[in-house]
Amino acid sequence: MTGEAKIQEAAQANVSLPIPDRELRFNWRHCWYPVTFIRDLPIERAYSFSIHDEPFVMFRNQDGTLACLTDRCPHRAAKLSDGQIIDGKIECLFHGWQFSTDGQCLHIPQLPTEDKIPAKACVPSFTVVERQGIVWVWLGELEAADKERIPIIPDLDKPEFVNTDFVGDLPYDQSYLIEHALDPAHANISHHGSEGNRESAKPLEMEVSESSATGIRGRFRGKQKPNANWVKVDFVAPNFVYYKLDFEKEIWGLALYSIPLGKGRSRVLFRSYSNNNFFTWKVKLTPRWLDHWFRNKVVEEDLPLFVGVQEQVERLGRNLKEVYLPLKTSDRFVIEYRKWLDKFGASLPFYQGYSTSQAADSNGECNAVLLGRFSQHTLICSSCHRAYQVTNRLKKTLVAVAIGLTALAIVTDGFGHEVAAVSASLSAVALAAVVQIVKTRFERSYKRR
């Protein structure tokens, strides 16, 4: 049995892997890319994103059908995402040209009514699919877009499972994000006190069972407990890392979807799920924005580390084989992934393998910018952005109330009324201070002390 066939057979019990037997090499355009969670898409305005620095825009027509076009008007190259949605069509803000979901130009205000719309006045369109709460886009030929190749998690279609979702933009290449996702050994050190404990940082028993153009399959467990359960790990090329721990009737899973926004920029869509009763009730009782406070902290614990790694690698201008000193008991999956890039990354616009690389035009410099939590998460998360707007309005209201009560205390006759007004004003100020603390949790990144 070939490696391709064995991955496909094993996938039925774990995660649905896209295994095209006809493809012997990896083609980055013939892949499904996870753009964002459906719940985080704006309802009545365009949504812009990029893949390998190519700009795209998404919007819905009057029937709610989601479309994806190149984010560039054919008239004067303005960004369509800066425009507005009118009657299910996206209108360019520059001169009002309007386009349908298939990219056809339907209206040009400046064109005489007797003239036909030029044939070249169209925008490339791409296949979009909504599946398991995520928006997926296919960049290859429309006829080659096989929905069965979308990497899904069968457990998520079962009613007894619940999940939490988190989205964040990161200031480093997708390959470093995937490297990080395939590194279970880092958690007890990097996330000590949040998701790990440095006392538990021990050697791991790590196995890689399959590696092909479609991805990597492996498993790991602690070496100090020979009878410990194995944790299954899948990398589904080029965007998906999946962990699954099975305790017979109880299952825990972590899924990290990613998208290469561009050189030095990536996006992670993190999803955790389980059928555990405690986890189920925790998810049901915890507001999504509150859960994201913790998830942001975990992401930001790693943020400067990986920015620093990428800066060092690009500054040195050497292969990772010369820079890294890996251990089989901690780095097996990381090195396997970098070697996968060596073997299958030739079609990518840029990549950093283990012994080879294809660098973008960066002159050996990494221009990562830490934008802060507001730009990296709050702006693209519907739950946190909505909560942020509420706290911002509440703060302004409380400050206005405090000022009004202070003015009332000044003009009021009677000591008792003055005291009551001043006390109420101070209470409003105190509440405004509390709201400000909450507001900063949506704005400022966590920093280690």
Task: Encode pLDDT of 88-107 as tens digits.
Answer: 999 999 999 999 999 999 99
Burial class of residue 217, CB neighbours in 10 A (0-12, 13-18, 19+): buried
Mean of pLDDT values over 37-53: 94
Residue type, 241: V
Q: What is the pLDDT of residue 448?
A: 76
Query: Which of helix, strand or coil describes residue 89?
Result: strand
With a CB cutoff of 8 Å and minimum separation 6, the contacts of 150 are 16, 18, 32, 129, 131, 136
Mean of pLDDT values over 131-153: 93
Packed helices 174-181 and 332-344: angle between N→C axes, nearest 10 degrees? 140
Q: 283 falls in which pLDDT band (50, 70, 90)?
A: very high
Percent of the chain with pLDDT strictly greater than 90:
72
Q: Round to whole Å and give the CA distance between 188 and 202.
A: 9
Mean of pLDDT values over 55-84: 95
Q: Round to whole Å and give the CA distance between 249 and 406.
A: 61
Q: Of 154-163, 363-372, 419-428, which one has max mean pLDDT?
A: 154-163
Q: What is the pLDDT of residue 327?
A: 95
Q: What is the CA radius of gyration of the chain?
A: 25
Query: Which of helix, strand or coil describes residue 153?
Result: coil
Contact between 151 and 240 (Cβ < 8 Å):
yes
For residue 416, pLDDT over 70 is answered with no
Listed range (16-20, 129-133, 341-345) with the worst mean pLDDT: 16-20
Domain spanning 32-138: which superfamily?
Rieske [2Fe-2S] iron-sulphur domain (2.102.10.10)
Mean of pLDDT values over 165-177: 95
Percent of the chain with pLDDT strictly greater than 70:
91
Listed range (50-64, 104-118, 192-206, 388-402) with the worst mean pLDDT: 192-206
Q: What is the pLDDT of residue 8?
A: 40
For residue 365, pLDDT over 90 is answered with no
Mean of pLDDT values over 305-313: 91
Listed range (78-92, 125-139, 413-427) with the worst mean pLDDT: 413-427
Q: Among 3.90.380.10, 3.40.190.10, 3.40.50.620, 3.30.70.3270, name the CATH number for the domain at 149-371.
A: 3.90.380.10
For residue 415, pLDDT over 70 is answered with no
Q: 414 falls in which pLDDT band (50, 70, 90)?
A: low
**3 or 270, higher pLDDT:** 270
> How many other C-beta atoms lie within 10 A of the C-beta of residue 399?
16
Q: What is the pLDDT of residue 123?
A: 97
Tell me how long the chain is: 449
Q: Round to whole Å and give the CA distance between 358 and 353.
A: 8
For residue 25, pLDDT over 80 is answered with no
Domain chopping of the chain, boundaries? 32-138, 149-371, 384-440
Mean pLDDT across the chain: 89
Q: 361 falls in which pLDDT band (50, 70, 90)?
A: low
Mean of pLDDT values over 227-254: 93
With a CB cutoff of 8 Å and minimum separation 6, the contacts of 293 are 441
Six token digits for residue 128: 């979009």
With a CB cutoff of 8 Å and minimum separation 6, the contacts of 64 are none
For residue 247, pLDDT over 90 is answered with no
